[in-house]
């Protein structure tokens, strides 16, 4: 979050890593750290959901496109 905390997740919404800037970690208080981690995790999960939805739409389009050819032949 703001470059201070980085959260990586998969399209399946599994958190694979959390990285905290060393300088921020040394100077932040517990409450600030907890809030920023929560924000960063939530953003990562939203992005993962967006990737998941995009992939599902592409998959659905490919499947339906193939089925459409069955009825046109």
In tens, the pLDDT along 18-63 reads 999 999 999 999 999 999 999 999 999 999 888 888 888 888 877 7
Q: List all residues 6 or more positions away from 49 whose beta carbon is below 8 Å from its beta carbon.
A: 13
d(CA 9, CA 18): 9
Question: Does the model's pTM come out above 0.85?
Answer: no
């Amino acid at each position: 979050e703001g470059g201070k905390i980085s959260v990586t997740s998969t399209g399946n919404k599994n958190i694979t890593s959390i990285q905290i800037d060393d300088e921020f970690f040394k100077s932040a208080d517990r409450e600030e750290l907890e809030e920023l981690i929560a924000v960063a995790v939530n953003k990562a999960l939203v992005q993962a959901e967006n990737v998941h939805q995009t992939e599902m739409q592409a998959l659905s389009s490919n499947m339906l496109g193939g089925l459409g050819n069955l009825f046109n032949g």
